[in-house]
Structure 1
Amino acid sequence: MSYEFRELLKKVGSGPHTSENLTRQESETATRLMLLQEATPAQIGAFMISHRIKRPTGEELAGMLDAYDALGKKLPPIASKIPVMVMCNPYDGRSRTAPLSPLVAIVLAAAGVPVVLHGGDRMPTKEGVPLIELWDGLGVNWKTVSLEQIHAILQQTGLGFVYLPHHFPLAQGLVEYREQIGKRPPFSTLELMWNPYAGESHLICGYVHPPTEGMFRDAFALRGTTLFTTVKGLEGSCDLPRDRTAIIGMAAGEKFDRLTLVPRDYGFAAKELPLVSNEDLIDQMRAAMRGEPSELMQATIWNCGFYLWRAGACTSLESGFSQAQAILELGQAERKLQQVIHAIEACRSVLSN
């Protein structure tokens, strides 16, 4: 048993009247002891549920991110005129609406905006569709290459994916506790803020509940993270909604602006695409990359147009929408996908030899 961890557990687990928030250093210590499994399973489970009940603070999340930075390897910087866009989606996936992030990432990369995604397999308690399954369906196997090779692929193609079980096994070791406690612990918030890239980056953080955005901003202020975008997205993802106003926060330096995008103002209003089988969704994605008109293609253009503009790759939302549509209709997204597949195959060939 870790007596050091027990003292931290007592602070967060003392109930609504006497529990205390941890300092940034204390939170870093607690997270480190959990990642290294120096705290016992009983202590880790108790901490997770107690911390959920208490609710994490921005300072505590900053400390948790410090521990992730200390113990997890990061992708080294690449040469890029545009900061790498790191899109942070909930690890427990989607259960109601169709995920767009892989297709959006492909289009952005084809436009010269490098993108990094991260996540794992199906994860408690939601057990929704994770992004890695969609990448697999598209023929992109991120699971078999090392972090060093992901870095080379990112440099070559503008796309990368950090796969938790392979690239950050210490964090993967905490996943089983989610199922055992039956609730999402504060680590699920941490994952919406974690940046596995070491160079100049632009964090995109999806969320569901408005207080979460305040935690993001508090933690980022403490850590000196100044370029980020918050999105009240579909099921907490980075995907912009089409059946309601998109609520977006945009930080750059010391400035934070609020943007509300009304889809009908730009001709994109529609019902959200329901979740279908992975096979059907992959077929729809491939059709969109062939430029075949569909609601999925429209949803992709809506998202990509915003992100191209936000990344500084175009001067207006309207030009972003036009650029995204052209990338799909001209087959540039399909060619980018094939480039990524070939880059991964080349890495696997080196490994087999």
Structure 2
Amino acid sequence: MSNLFRQLLQKVGSGSHTTENLAREEAATATKMMLLAEAKPAQIGAFLIAHRIKRPTGEELAGMLDAYEELGPKLQPRDSEQPVIVLGVPYDGRVRTSPITPIIALLLTTVGKTVIMHGGDRLPTKYGLPLIEVWQGLGVDWSGYSLPQIQQIFEQTDIGFIYTPKHFPLTQTLWEYRDQLGKRPPLATMELIWSPYGGNAHVMAGFVHPPTEAMFHTALGLRGIKQFTFIKGLEGSCDLPRDRTAIIGLSSPTTPQQLERLHLAPRDYGITSKNVPLVSPQQVIQDLKAVVAGEAGEMMQTALWNGGFYLWRSGVCADMISGMTTATELFKSGAVAQKLQQLISCLANHSSA
């Protein structure tokens, strides 16, 4: 098996003049061999850094997703035909700006949408604040539940979370390589558009570098995903920025192979141009709890800016203005707080295992 992997390594690591892109099937094979530790440690380290230097293609990302589809966990389809919203954020977390993603998940499920997130603990290379810790600060600890329990919670509350250390432990050894290499390999790019769901999904993912968006588009097209939203968000997340115009790529309802472009300027909607800095995890939790309680402030501005967009994009509201108005009403009425309490109660009713 190591001889087969060596052939794949030779293709991506042969230098600027002779390197070759992998076919989709080859990328899937390489990913599976790394996850299953069928390749030698030296080969895995070399492959990850060589592939980063080469840069991945959309076809290679599709192959990596194929491997995750085969080996990874999946929440099973629900009776509803509406697509599940999968929010993809960088696993290595946030270090400069406060995240709003869990609040958006609560907001969307308050109005009947379904949401799945995924991620792990503090991970390289940034070791930033991950989603799992934000949820824990809000009173929701996803880390102790089995996949069947998460499935039940998902069906009862419309929110699910794939906690990779427990639900996809094969990925954990690769994080050691990321730490030792000090760079994020293309696997980290692929994770942003991974959908751990067995049914129809609307993949919403953040990105930093513009070429990434084109790779996302190609990969999801090859995988048959017709609904997607790509956001040049804060620290690569799908949180809309407030300090600049939000650049967003949207799937076309009539021609999924085309990418529609949307630019949203915060000032056009009365949003101040200031991102909320990440001072400390404790402050993030305090600010998010204030939003859930309907209290005005800088974090509420972030919540309304993002909430308005996601309520519009998911089809709940006709436009951004009505989306922001609806988000304001849901926070102030206590509906989002009630949703959080429902989620906390549901987890309490399922003994962790």
Q: Verify same fold: TM over 0.5.
A: yes
Please state how far the C-alpha of 1:81 moved relative to its aligned partner: 5.2
Are 1:276 and 2:279 an aligned pair? yes
Q: Is the 8 A contact 1:87 1:116 kept in 2?
A: yes
Partner of 1:47: 47
How many Å apart are 1:152 and its aligned residue? 1.4
Aligned to 1:147: 147
Which residue number in structure 2 is paired with residue 57 of structure 1? 57
Deviations 1:157-184 (A, max 9, x none): 1111111100111122211110111111
Deviation at 1:319, TM superposition (A): 1.2
Conserved 8 A contact 2:88-2:191: yes
CA contact (8 A) 1:75 1:196 kept: yes
Alignment of 1:9-28 (within 5 A): 9-28=9-28
1:316 corresponding residue in structure 2: 319
Q: Distance in 2 between matches of 1:112 and 1:133?
A: 25
Query: SS at the partner of 2:295?
Result: coil
Asked if 1:345 corresponds to 2:348, the answer is yes
| Aligned residue pair count | 350
- Paired with 1:142 and 1:60, the residues of 2 have a C-alpha distance of 31
Are 2:72 and 1:69 aligned?
Answer: no
1:292 paired residue number: 295
| Matching of residues 1-353 of structure 1 within 5 Å | 2-80=2-80, 82-253=82-253, 254-255=255-256, 256-348=259-351
Change (3 A) 1:252 1:200: farther
Q: Where does structure 2 lack aligned partners over 5 or more consecutive residues?
A: none
Letter of the structure 1 residue corresponding to residue 292 of structure 2: M
Q: Distance in 1 between matches of 2:198 and 2:215?
A: 22
**CA deviation vs aligned residue, 1:88-146 (integer Å, no higher than 9, x gap):** 00001111000111111111111211111111111111111111111111110101111
Contact 1:90–1:188 (8 Å) recurs in 2: yes
Quote the offset at 1:79 in angstroms: 2.9
Listed as ranges, the gaps of 5+ residues in structure 1 are none
Tell me the distance in 2 between the aligned counterparts of 1:109 and 1:123: 28
Paired residue secondary structure (2:349): helix
- TM-score using structure 1 length: 0.97
**Which letter does structure 1 place at the counterpart of 2:29?**
T
Deviation at 1:82, TM superposition (A): 3.4
**What letter corresponds to residue 13 of structure 2 in structure 1?**
G
Q: Report the AA paired with residue 243 of structure 1.
A: D
In structure 2, how many angstroms separate the alpha carbons of the residues matched to 1:290 and 1:179? 38
Q: Distance in 1 between matches of 2:180 and 2:289?
A: 38
Aligned partner letter, 1:214 = A
RMSD (Å), alpha carbons = 1.2
| Identity level (%) | 57
Question: How far apart in 1 are the matches of 2:270 and 2:158?
Answer: 30
